[in-house]
Structure 1
Amino acid sequence: MIALTLAEIAAAVGGELRVAGEDTTETVVDGIVDTDSRTMTPGSVFVAKPGAETDGHRFVGAAVAAGAAVAIVEHTVDVPVSQVVVPDAVVALGALAREVVARVRAEGRLRIVGITGSNGKTTTKNFLARILEDEGETVAPVKSFNNEVGAPVTMLRVTKSTRFLVSEFGAAAPGSIAHLAGLVEPDLAVVLMVGMAHAGGFGGIEATAKAKSELVSAARVPGTAVLNIDDPRVAAMKDLALSRGLDVIGFGQSDAADVRAVDIEVSASGTSCVIEVGGERLPLRLRVLGAHHITNALAAIASALVLGIAPADAVARLETVEIAERWRMQPLGSDRVRIINDAYNASPDSMAAALRTLAQITGPDERTVAVLGAMSELGESAGEEHDRIGLLAVRLNIQRIVVVGPEARRLYLAAVGEGSWDSEAVHLPDQDAAYEYLRTELRDGDRVLVKSSNSVGLRHLGDRLGELFS
């Protein structure tokens, strides 16, 4: 965080400052800001966030022992450290992020990119950060820090030398993106796609589209909306963007795209295509598996173009990226038995894309094995969407379908009903049972996809299988 006095921190969050020890209102703090006491270093700001399972106020002492210089709290604690008392610690965290980013932006160098979409946010964020880091200091979220805590914590990492802030915005509920994006008013609003992910919490896909459009509404004017022209619900946001005075740049495979991909090919070693932009044709070979990641690459290239980076430079930097992120189409195992661990998250769209990738990268003498768990947060659509994935797996001729957990049973039943018989599809109660089954079932030449929502935890099964067959 940039240097601020205790008085400035208190003013930014609207809190009551209570100094301790040798501190004064003018004591300067410039360390990291976090809700995790384990990350504290000398001069840090600890935000005591109450939680469902524990309360951050219990860890103020540990934070101070690790070096925290001040704690933002909802009530004073009996620990010798200066404290800023606020009604809501999470709201205060966001307010502090707003103040810090505004001060850095006032210096005139900082450009801010906001990214949202039902799928692809983290991969696009990583792609764009890789392109931008060669231009100057770039701050981007660790993992998927895209909620009311993770997004402000990332924003607070900016310094006066930061040139680019890449923020990833998830939507826990209607208004979430409007709030988070409103903290920084991005110069670029990047919308990737509108899918069924989290649709259960929004009341349907149209409500999800409205939530994603909040990013376009929150963008800074003058600014740019970077939109997936292949997704009709995203493309429809062009009217909103133009009505606000934003420029619009479209990406996709459509002829209408300003940054377009053609000649897409998927193999076990990566994904290739030709990028068409501004009259240029640029070959791109990603090491990342899956045709769906071409969309994420297009979004990153289009965003970089708006920020003044030549497409050829953007393409060259993307080709150095080895994996999108841990547990996202992550190759594990060996050439003998290849494990693709894509179990950080799952929606109907990402599940379908991963299954298609598995089918595309498996040779004629190799066997496809899909280890699938439940997709969460689908609401009333959950049964139908699990049915659809079961049918798709069979129609893609996935040769072994291993369904894990009771929540995914409908996926298994749909696969069996579609014709996956004679042990081609099995249903197992949990990860341990699946591991024991796969330990003896997998053989040389197998290509294995592990896919589920994060809450199911199959990513750990993927790691175990990767280690077993390494």
Structure 2
Amino acid sequence: MIALSLAEIAEVVGGQTHDIPDPSVQVTGPVVRDSREAGPGSLFVAFAGERVDGHDFAAAVVEAGAVAVLGTRPVGVPAIVVEDVQTALGALARHVVSRLGATLVALTGSAGKTSTKDLIAQVLQRKAPTVFTPGSLNNEIGLPLTALSATEETRFLVLEMGARGIGHIRYLTELTPPKIGLVLNVGSAHIGEFGGREQIAQAKGELVESLPSEADGGTAVLNADDPYVRAMASRTKAKVLLFGESGEADVRAENVRLTDTGQPAFRLHTPSGASDVTMRLYGEHHVSNALAAAAVAHELGMSADEIAVALSEAGSLSRWRMEVTERPDGVTVVNDAYNANPESMKAALRALAAMGKGRRTWAVLGKMAELGDEALAEHDAVGRLAVRLNVSKLVAVGGREAAWLQLGAYNEGSWGEESVHVSDAQAAVDLLRSELRPGDVVLVKASRSVGLESVAQALLESGAEGEVAAR
């Protein structure tokens, strides 16, 4: 964080200082909410949760070097006391961002946010110091914490914004007003909470509504291939830059194909030129993510050749997102278990089919959460797609939704043991351990609440003697 005195922080957040001998002492380190991350010069933000109260760790964080605690009550060590910690954290982020010389890039969408954010960050880092959201900490707590990690040297601040309802993104943009706003897609993720795609589009479009006008440097980067996103052009005064495979896109891909290992390759076209890209990531769905990153990079002054090189060398920065690891015995495990929705589930299955040409393929799938009335149809459709893509075996893990996956596969034409429904992750592990053969490719994917990453981890731990080699 940029250096701020405790007196200045107290004024910004509307708090009262307690047990602070010298209010001119500065916070020079990070702002953290995990006591284990507290260190010299840091500010510890004490949230009171259902199971853990951050205030209980106040003495420990100060002993570790934290300058003070931001909380809702005095704690016997230097503290700034406020009525609401989350509100105070947001106010502090807003103040710090206003003093940065960085360009703020914000992105949202129903699928692919984290992967695209990671791509944008890796491309922009080649141009200037860049700070970006770690993992998918994209809510009203994670976003300001990310913003507060920026320093005077930061030139680009890339922030992922998530939403579970109307008004959420609007709130986040008030904390960290972006200059460039990117909307990836409008899909089915959280449709049960929103009520429909129209409502999702309304929420995601709050990002482009927040942008400054074109005259003031605002740019909306929109997916030309998604009609809901493209329609958002009418909701902003910012410049509109379109990306996609459409011929009308300003940044587009031509000659899209997958390599023998399932990695996408294409010809990148931008208004400043064209160049070839071969990605290290797996699955054709990353083409759209790469185009979105390319559009942002183009708007920030990078050439087509610079962008193509950066995209070709970029890897996955976040865990359990198409994380491909080959065991010593030749079994390939694809851990994509961080989360799932209908769009990402179908994309992962297509990637599995491409990676597994000439090999046995396994799709170990669990439920997709928060689909509301669409749950049965969407799980059925994923099961059917697995059969259409000739996945060798579908292992549906869990309760009712998993049964719908298996039923969809059966109704599409699966027979015998080509699809199976098992009760839990351990049952899936037991099945796979007994039946996997060298050369098989295993995809593991479900919503985060299912915890199917344990299946992938168990397969890697029990693969063979020696260490596994990550690809």
**Bin for the TM-score computed over the shorter chain:** over 0.9
Partner of residue 42, structure 1: 40
Q: Within 5 Å, give how 1:303-382 maps onto structure 2.
A: 303-323=296-316, 325-334=318-327, 336-364=330-358, 366-382=359-375
Partner of residue 2, structure 1: 2
Between the aligned partners of 2:287 and 2:462, the Cα distance in structure 1 is 31
Name the SS for the 2:373 alignment partner: helix
Sort the Cα spacing of 1:183 and 1:433 in 2 relative to 1 into closer, same or farther, 3 A.
same
Q: Structure 2: 5+ residue runs without aligned partners?
A: none
1:182-207 CA-partner distances (Å, limit 9, x unpaired): 21211100000010011111111111
Counterpart selection for 2:275 from 257, 276, 282? 282
Cα deviation for residue 451 of structure 1 reads 0.8
Counterpart selection for 1:86 from 82, 88, 103? 82
Correspondence 1:57 to 2:50 = no
Between the aligned partners of 1:25 and 1:305, the Cα distance in structure 2 is 44
Q: Within 5 Å, give how 1:57-206 maps onto structure 2.
A: 57-77=55-75, 79=76, 81-104=77-100, 109-206=101-198
Q: Structure 1: 5+ residue runs without aligned partners?
A: none
Q: Is the 8 A contact 2:82 2:88 kept in 1?
A: yes
Q: Letter of the aligned partner of 1:116 in structure 2? A: T
Name the SS for the 1:251 alignment partner: strand
Percent identity reads: 47
Partner of residue 207, structure 2: 215
Between the aligned partners of 2:33 and 2:409, the Cα distance in structure 1 is 44
Cα deviation for residue 60 of structure 1 reads 1.7
Name the SS for the 1:393 alignment partner: helix
Partner of residue 18, structure 2: 18
Q: TM-score, normalised by structure 1?
A: 0.94
Between the aligned partners of 1:250 and 1:368, the Cα distance in structure 2 is 36
Between the aligned partners of 1:258 and 1:69, the Cα distance in structure 2 is 49
Name the SS for the 1:235 alignment partner: helix
Cα deviation for residue 63 of structure 1 reads 1.8
Q: Is the 8 A contact 2:117 2:132 kept in 1?
A: yes
Q: Letter of the aligned partner of 1:299 in structure 2? A: A
Q: Letter of the aligned partner of 1:53 in structure 2? A: R
Q: Letter of the aligned partner of 2:348 in structure 1? A: A
Q: Within 5 Å, give how 1:408-423 maps onto structure 2.
A: 408-423=402-417
Sort the Cα spacing of 1:400 and 1:142 in 2 relative to 1 into closer, same or farther, 3 A.
same
Name the SS for the 2:154 alignment partner: coil
Partner of residue 248, structure 1: 240
Q: Is the 8 A contact 2:262 2:354 kept in 1?
A: no
Aligned residues: CA RMSD: 1.5
Sort the Cα spacing of 1:307 and 1:279 in 2 relative to 1 into closer, same or farther, 3 A.
closer
Q: Is the 8 A contact 1:178 1:218 kept in 2?
A: yes
Name the SS for the 2:193 alignment partner: helix
Q: Is the 8 A contact 1:32 1:156 kept in 2?
A: yes
Cα deviation for residue 165 of structure 1 reads 0.3
Q: Within 5 Å, give how 1:27-38 maps onto structure 2.
A: 27-38=25-36
Q: Is the 8 A contact 2:31 2:44 kept in 1?
A: yes
Counterpart selection for 1:300 from 283, 293, 318? 293
Q: Letter of the aligned partner of 1:282 in structure 2? A: S
Q: Within 5 Å, give how 1:221-260 maps onto structure 2.
A: 221=213, 222=216, 223-241=218-236, 244=237, 246-260=238-252
Q: Is the 8 A contact 1:40 1:68 kept in 2?
A: yes
Between the aligned partners of 2:341 and 2:63, the Cα distance in structure 1 is 42
Deviates more, 1:139-148 or 1:48-57: 48-57
